[in-house]
Structure 1
Amino acid sequence: MGAVLTVWRVSSGTDWRGHSLRTLLLALLGLGLVLGAPAGGQSCPATVVPLVQGLSNPRGLALGPDGALYLAEVGTPETGGRVSRLWPDGRWEVLLSGLPFFTHWTGETVGTTALALRRGDLYLLQGEGPGPLASALLRLPAGARTPEKVADLFAFFFAERYDPVTALQTNPTASPTVESNPFALLSDEATDQFFVVDSAANALVAVSPEGSITRLAVWPDNPVPTGLVRGPDGALLIALFSPFPFAPGSGRVDRLAPDGRLRPALTGLTMPIGLAVDRQGRLIVLEFAQGFQVASGFHPRSGRLLRLEGALRTVLADHLPYPTAVLAAPDGTFYLSLNGAFAPPGSGQVVRLIPCDRG
């Protein structure tokens, strides 16, 4: 990866793979990860434990039934992307490497963006780019070293765009340009299918294990869907990053009810990029940044992790450097991917966040 990979884990004493606890705290301070009281909302400062460092554009996370953490990296032009696994005892292994990598004209790096587990197989969501694996849902069977394509999202949207009836239904004012950049993936046991949000197509689709695709929702106002989770009431919740130029407070979460009705559920967010539900059924929202300027880009170290409970918004963490994924663990903690975009190669990391009031 062009950087030294460091795996951090807690031992019985104060030693962290050769580093004292004091050294670790100083390092966290340098990274801006010792979290104080944020501005706005109720504060619940969290403890952040680094798990893996030296990553390049880390994105999607998945937790196996055995406690192993799977993570995807978009990577670099030289290395491509990769998928790795971190075992609870600290063992680290690379499952896939050399996955397709693409740099968008905006400067965003695109590749493997999301992961999911289903019946022992690992599923990968590949973003836009050239090549046969781009804009696709891939499957890595247990024990295999080569992924196989399950569904081609670009082909689906291409066929939809050039079907005159479907095109008028989905976006009657759009140009004939076809775009597809899948970003979030949900393996849904209740319906035995996958749900995928595509940030470029501004659509939510369902994908069967055999690869058939069904469109569930489309947003003609280009809000850039990025996050996806099933709520405790059975509805699908979708994070909408917001249209360019990403004005503060213009992001939202939409709710797709089981009967197909799509409505805004939560407004006033700033660049929501990931969603989760904690073990008490509360919605967790990950915000990528708190501002954007055309000349300088996204505000650095301004990401936040929010917990929503009715009208109460609790800031669990702020000053996060370009967070790209959040995963809720059964023990009430969260895993985060940091420096997952617009960051130098090797600066990415995955951390474990422990809320101050974890029940």
Structure 2
Amino acid sequence: MMSRKKLLILAIFAALFPQNALAATFSVVVEGLDNARGLSFAPDGALYVTEAGSGGTGACVPSPTGGNLCYGTSGAVTKIANGKSDRVLTNLPSIALADGTSSFGAQDIKFDSLTGNPYVLIGYAADPALRDTALNSPDLGKLVAADFTTNSWEVVADFSNYELANNPDNADVGSNPTAFVLDGNRAIAVDAGANALLSVGINGSNLQPIATFAQEVLTNPLFPPTDSVPFDPTQVPPPEAAPPAAEFAIQATPTGVAKGPDGAYYVSQFTGFPFPEGGARIYRIDAEGETSIYADGFTQLTDLEFDAEGNLYALQYANESAWKGNFDGSVIQISPDGTQTTLLSGEGLVSPSSLAVSPDGEVYITNQSDRPGLSQILKLDNPKPVPEPTSVLGVLAFSALGLKQWHKKRLFNRHWRI
């Protein structure tokens, strides 16, 4: 039988040198995708991913922050089932820089739970006024109903035109719809360029804002050094822009949306340049359109989704301000009581864009989502977090309580483990 003194020594040792909690690992399900973005499970259990494409050699429009985005039909939707991947929808509109990066096109996909019909959201990220005149590509910035059997689609709603005509946040005009959910007979979409959460009937009726997200003012923000090379010219102001100020207004830039178990909508935030670390939030929008902060302290969130147990999974594109050039991302689980647990950080998770939770609770992620021809889909192999002691003092207090009970009973309860 081990003495109380030895038990205490072992408890102290365990507290000072704890075993690390088992971090999630992942498997690569598919690779070689072209700027992979949105993920969704169909009613038949297959996983679908949108590929924003790599633009093309067509007409170009200037990005609001520098560089030219050129048009092509390189976007696609890919189906993954039974260990195989097949493109089931092709020739979708896409714009990107000449090297295929900074791509905007097929951003998200969802399936009607009653009919199984697929809907695809197509982004834009440029001046809505130039879409039809300069690009002659009216399907950018829209929600479309897709038909995989005929490789065709029909327009449901024009979010970019709505921003041009209405500008619901009363700020700079811009549109880039990035994600949506289907809620009954409505599509609920976030437009990152318009800083708005929008609702439209899946028959195209009654397009209107649910909520808008105002600019935020940073005090003494951290900016890139003046001699640094931008990681992405579409994300960093050009050199001729006004010098940084002590107070700097940034866009909210909403990116993902999920419907919670409580019926409210939850919206993730990327934030605008200079992408303050810890400055991104998750907003909750209730049935009356009232907006509140559900969780904060994140960096450059791109997506979020609930599982069947009410846990919310949030995805960070990069854990540091993206202009620093480190694109290690994170998957963070937020339990119903608000506890945040990082399941995976870095270790091969790089610039992820979207996640999906399967009906049986498996978590899938689009990885390297900003790399044409190199994007992947990952599956977390063990997404359940392993509890850790919160502090050495907590472990010592727990150990002392255990020793006291041992002294009283003169025996080990079989539930105690050393």
Match of 2:320 among 291, 298, 303: 291
1:54 is aligned to 32
2:186 is aligned to 193
How far the C-alpha of 1:354 sits from its partner, in A, is 2.6
Question: Are 1:257 and 2:286 an aligned pair?
Answer: yes
How far the C-alpha of 1:210 sits from its partner, in A, is 1.4
Residues 121, 142 of structure 1: 8 Å contact kept: no
The equivalences for 1:233-312 within 5 A come to 233-292=262-321, 294=323, 298-300=325-327, 302-309=328-335, 310-312=337-339
Q: Alignment partner of 1:265: what SS?
A: strand
1:27 is aligned to none
* Closer/same/farther in 2, CA of residues 43 and 322 from structure 1, 3 Å limit: farther
How far the C-alpha of 1:353 sits from its partner, in A, is 1.1
Amino acid at match of 1:55: L
Residues 188, 199 of structure 2: 8 Å contact kept: yes
Question: Are 1:116 and 2:142 an aligned pair?
Answer: no
Residues 323, 338 of structure 1: 8 Å contact kept: yes
Q: Alignment partner of 1:75: what SS?
A: coil
How many residue pairs match? The answer is: 299
2:366 is aligned to 337
How far the C-alpha of 1:43 sits from its partner, in A, is 4.8
How far the C-alpha of 1:333 sits from its partner, in A, is 1.0
Residues 289, 299 of structure 1: 8 Å contact kept: yes
* Closer/same/farther in 2, CA of residues 44 and 337 from structure 1, 3 Å limit: same
Question: Are 1:156 and 2:165 an aligned pair?
Answer: no
Amino acid at match of 2:183: D
1:125 is aligned to 121
Q: Alignment partner of 2:203: what SS?
A: coil
1:21 is aligned to none
Q: Alignment partner of 2:166: what SS?
A: helix
User: In the aligned structure 2, how far is the partner of 1:200 from the partner of 1:104?
Assistant: 18
Match of 1:136 among 137, 142, 154: 142
Q: CA RMSD in A?
A: 2.2
How far the C-alpha of 1:44 sits from its partner, in A, is 4.7
The equivalences for 1:59-98 within 5 A come to 59-78=37-56, 80-87=74-81, 89-98=82-91
Residues 43, 111 of structure 2: 8 Å contact kept: no
Residues 44, 357 of structure 1: 8 Å contact kept: no
2:218 is aligned to none
How far the C-alpha of 1:220 sits from its partner, in A, is 2.4
User: In the aligned structure 2, how far is the partner of 1:156 from the partner of 1:354?
Assistant: 42
Q: Alignment partner of 1:132: what SS?
A: coil
Amino acid at match of 1:160: N
* Closer/same/farther in 2, CA of residues 135 and 293 from structure 1, 3 Å limit: closer
* Closer/same/farther in 2, CA of residues 327 and 356 from structure 1, 3 Å limit: closer
2:416 is aligned to none
How far the C-alpha of 1:355 sits from its partner, in A, is 2.6
1:179 is aligned to 174
Which deviations, in whole Å up to 9, do the C-alpha atoms of 1:125-153 show, x marking residues without a partner?
A: 00116411010001113633111111111
1:25 is aligned to none
Greater share of helix residues, 1 or 2?
A: 2
Question: Are 1:351 and 2:378 an aligned pair?
Answer: yes
How far the C-alpha of 1:158 sits from its partner, in A, is 1.5
User: In the aligned structure 2, how far is the partner of 1:121 from the partner of 1:142?
Assistant: 10
Amino acid at match of 1:304: S
User: In the aligned structure 1, how far is the partner of 2:308 from the partner of 2:322?
Assistant: 37
2:256 is aligned to 227
Which deviations, in whole Å up to 9, do the C-alpha atoms of 1:290-318 show, x marking residues without a partner?
A: 11264x5x422x10000012242111111
1:318 is aligned to 345
TM-score (norm 1): 0.78
Which deviations, in whole Å up to 9, do the C-alpha atoms of 1:231-279 show, x marking residues without a partner?
A: 1111100001113111110000010011221111111111111101122
User: In the aligned structure 2, how far is the partner of 1:325 from the partner of 1:143?
Assistant: 26
Question: What percent of counterpart residues are identical?
Answer: 31
Amino acid at match of 1:203: A
- Structure 1: state its 5+ residue gaps: 1-41, 162-166
* Closer/same/farther in 2, CA of residues 208 and 49 from structure 1, 3 Å limit: same
How far the C-alpha of 1:334 sits from its partner, in A, is 0.6
How far the C-alpha of 1:90 sits from its partner, in A, is 2.0
The equivalences for 1:207-222 within 5 A come to 207-212=200-205, 213-221=207-215, 222=251
User: In the aligned structure 1, how far is the partner of 2:319 from the partner of 2:268?
Assistant: 15
Residues 44, 315 of structure 1: 8 Å contact kept: no
Residues 23, 385 of structure 2: 8 Å contact kept: no
How far the C-alpha of 1:76 sits from its partner, in A, is 1.6
